[in-house]
């Protein structure tokens, strides 16, 4: 099960109290204050782990707590520090603080975990209180005061997973995105000969050659009104936010050139309504399932669509492999140019 959102509560440990103590030993008169300080409370830390692909494990546990620090002891013994709590999350997790009277998605951003092993302290442990030995001075040689430990922190967090991919596949449901990913990678999304849409994102590692690899993301199909949350729209658009380039697939099953262009415009409109940045992402237009058309009709269709969109159009049949090599070559070139800019 793919889960890309989770709300959790994190609670760090309070610091231990300082100790109020005086040295009492036989034959040692006026031993003086010897109360030790309390230990520091444990912190809650999020750790990015590339071996995780979903937030499902995190979402199953609503509260994450660290240990509190131990109290100081006599003989100037410092209390043990509380054990911290590490929470593993997938690479690409955006962390927000849930604020009162605001939607979780609008909370203040605390961090963005983009690299494997990256750590983010989301709740810092409280400091330990000082024992009375820390308050001695030439004018105050027998202090009878000790500090209490500082309280820990508690926050409610909204975790949002945004997939990190080089190429995101966009298009209407049944445009051939899953078939393409299954053809060029080891990913195995569901494929069938009847209309349906992918319900969960799938990542596929594509070997281009010359030791170059690209990560393709097969995302849920788009429908009209997706930018307003219709269908799986927002889930779809969330994961497109971090892709370097887009492959926009339209199927020849739509029929005429006008119908195919209309399918393209519908998806393009949803991207533009969601954000200008997403609409401006480098894009390759692909006409899929070309094995359903005779060669003469296909050539006229590609030429006409390219003229209308004022952009190159790549024909593709993921089933037969027709057009696959030039498409991957162009995708590699486009991603390389975006990486160079980054």
- pTM over 0.75, yes/no: no
Give, as one character, the DSSP assignment of residue 287. Answer: E
Q: In sequence order, which residues have a C-beta less than 8 Å from that of residue 163 and are 6 or more positions away?
A: 92, 201, 203, 217, 239, 242, 243
pLDDT value of position 52: 85
Residue 233: the pLDDT is 43
User: What is d(CA 261, CA 259) in angstroms, rounded to the nearest whole number?
Assistant: 5
- The structural domains of the chain, ordered by start, are 5-161 (2.70.210.12), 167-341 (3.40.50.300)
Kindly state the tokens that stand for 119: 């750590």
Rounded distance between C-alpha atoms, residue 313 and residue 307, angstroms: 9
pLDDT given for residue 97 in this prediction: 92
Question: In the structure encoding, which two tokens stand for residue 189, read together?
Answer: 């999304």
Dihedral sign computed on CA atoms, order 288, 293, 299, 303: negative
Q: Which two tokens stand for residue 289?
A: 């399932």
What is the pLDDT at residue 192? 44
> Tens place of pLDDT for every residue, the chain, 342 residues?
567 789 999 999 999 999 999 988 777 777 789 999 999 999 999 999 988 878 888 999 999 999 999 999 998 999 999 999 999 998 889 999 998 877 877 888 999 998 999 999 999 999 999 999 999 998 888 899 999 999 999 999 999 887 777 888 888 877 787 788 888 876 555 544 544 445 566 777 788 876 678 888 877 655 454 334 444 445 556 667 778 888 999 988 877 899 999 988 888 887 887 777 777 889 999 999 998 888 888 899 999 999 999 999 999 998 888 999 999 999 999 998 888 887
């Amino acid at each position: 099960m793919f889960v890309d959102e989770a709300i959790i509560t994190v609670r760090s440990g309070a610091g231990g109290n300082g100790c109020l103590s005086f040295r009492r030993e036989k034959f040692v008169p006026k031993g003086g204050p010897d109360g030790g300080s309390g230990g520091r409370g444990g912190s809650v830390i999020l750790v990015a782990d590339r071996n995780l692909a979903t937030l499902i494990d995190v979402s199953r546990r609503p509260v994450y707590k660290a240990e509190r620090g131990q109290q100081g002891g006599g003989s100037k013994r410092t209390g043990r520090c509380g054990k911290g709590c590490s929470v593993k999350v997938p690479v690409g997790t955006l962390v927000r603080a849930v604020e009162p009277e605001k939607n979780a998605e609008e909370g203040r951003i605390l961090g963005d975990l983009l690299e494997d092993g990256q750590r983010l302290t989301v709740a810092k442990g409280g400091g330990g209180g000082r024992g009375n030995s820390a308050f001695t001075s030439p004018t105050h040689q027998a202090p009878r005061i000790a500090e209490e430990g500082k309280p820990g922190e508690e926050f409610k967090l909204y975790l949002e997973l945004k997939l990190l991919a080089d190429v995101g596949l966009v298009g209407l449901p049944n445009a051939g995105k899953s078939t393409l990913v299954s053809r060029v990678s080891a990913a195995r999304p569901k494929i069938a000969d009847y209309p349906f849409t992918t319900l969960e994102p799938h990542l596929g590692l594509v070997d281009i050659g010359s030791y170059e690899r690209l990560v393709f993301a097969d995302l849920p199909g788009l429908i009209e009104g997706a930018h307003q949350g219709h269908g799986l729209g927002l889930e779809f658009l969330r994961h497109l936010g971090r892709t370097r380039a887009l492959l926009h697939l339209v199927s020849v099953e739509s029929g005429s050139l006008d119908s195919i262009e209309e399918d393209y415009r519908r998806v393009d409109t949803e991207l533009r309504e969601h954000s200008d940045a997403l609409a401006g992402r480098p894009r390759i237009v692909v006409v899929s399932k070309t094995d359903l058309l005779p060669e003469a009709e296909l050539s006229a269709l590609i030429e006409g669509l390219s003229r209308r969109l004022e952009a190159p159009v790549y024909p593709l049949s993921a089933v037969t492999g027709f057009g696959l090599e030039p498409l991957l070559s162009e995708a590699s070139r486009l991603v390389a140019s975006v990486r160079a800019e980054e």
